Amino acid sequence: MVSQFDRPPSGLSVWMIRGPRGAFRWTAYVLAVTSFAAAVPSPLYPVYEHQFEFTAGVLGLVFAAYTPGVLLMLFLVAPQAERRGRRRMLAIGMMLTALGALVFALAPGVTWLAMARFISGLAVGATTSVATAAMSDLEPNRDAHHVARVAVAANFGGFAIGVALSGLTVQFGPWPTHLVYFLPVAASVLGLLAVSVTPETAPDIGVKLPYRIQGVSVPPQILRPFWVATGGIAACYSIYGFFAALVPSYVRTVLMDPHASAVGLVVASMFGMAAITQLATAQIRDRRALLVGFPLMIFTLVGLVLILPYASWTFIFPVSAGLGIAVGLTFMGSVTLVDRVAPDAARGETLAGFYSAGYMALAVPTIGIAEVSERVGLADAGILFGSVLALVVCLMYVAILRTPTPPGGGGRRRNDPTGPA
């Protein structure tokens, strides 16, 4: 039986997809939905910690359950999209997104929270690489740099909107741990509709190919720029995990603000500025973006460490926004650099190693903050991990200064695999 996701789009596509970038934008929306859904529980984690009476260490493990879900899909399932259909894989991602939200809404205990978080990771793993590949084919000018910018902005922007709307809904709506999950379910339904009307872009659809597990390999000629880019994405995901694990509990317990909207707005200020940076700095690319992003990241991490002991609202928003700009620049520099240097023949293997390093880096500060905070307190745990991160980023910056990357930096069009666009 032929699925609706295997047939050419018709009907609604005429109404929904308008202009040369219509399908591209809807695919970016699908990518944003998974980040949006992953962000929605963030203001609620301290509530769950109190409601289900578990420790901060357990909360860290719940948060980190996201990572194995992402990696499982990224390596075992997403590679099948090229022959089974990208639209089908994106539809699975939307269904998993809705399922994760429903499990969160109905969770009776901590095990269910971990399961919901794991399902959210599955959704992200099914969507991220597949949506980005589809966007590359749907972008009218095949502008790889534009695709990278929009994909990263969709991820960070989706998270910022999700955490902000979640905080407002939890604070001002009824049934705080249930109603909020209607948001990602509704967004996923619209995402399914978007998938159903966008063109199929998989190159090997219908071809009988053996089952493939995504491998990881890096051609020797790009090892040095690959490690520069990987250091950038690892730093960004480490800060993402550090910030998302620290700030919700810090606002509630140290700043003594029980309002979920306050948590949402602080977290959204960081991720929102990261998204805006992608769209506002189109001319600052790969190495240049890293050389600007890393010093700013060091400066804002030091600023965050310095303000944590004082439990003051005065600097939390400026520091969060500055950290978002730094992460936005560094992430964009890393993605555009690895995109430019990865040869087409080993593109999948190179990007798999690149993104898996980032997702593994996400788990370390998440679990670490939770475990250490039980022993020394949340502010001191934040100071410790923030200081370590600042030192690591400083070492990475020195390594980048000492490591040359291939000349260019203007991105690469997919129809010109030999050099920069």
Per-residue pLDDT tens over the stretch 278-333: 888 767 777 888 999 999 999 999 999 998 888 778 888 899 999 999 999 999 88
Average pLDDT estimate for 260-277:
87
Q: Give the contacts of 268 (CB within 8 A, at least 6 positions apart).
A: 160, 161, 163, 164, 167
The pLDDT mean for the chain works out to 83
Q: What is the pLDDT of residue 416?
A: 41
Name the CATH superfamily housing domain 19-201+220-402.
MFS general substrate transporter like domains (1.20.1250.20)
More confident residue, 141 or 395: 395
More confident residue, 405 or 394: 394
Domain regions of the chain by residue span: 19-201+220-402
Q: What is the pLDDT of residue 17?
A: 60
- Percent of the chain at pLDDT > 90 equals 30
Q: Work out the pLDDT band at 2, boundaries 50, 70, 90.
A: very low
Q: Which pLDDT tens digit goes with each residue over 199-224? A: 887 776 666 767 677 777 788 888 88
Average pLDDT estimate for 30-49:
88
More confident residue, 85 or 100: 100
**Residue 57 clears pLDDT 50, i.e. is over it:** yes
Q: What is the pTM of this model?
A: 0.84
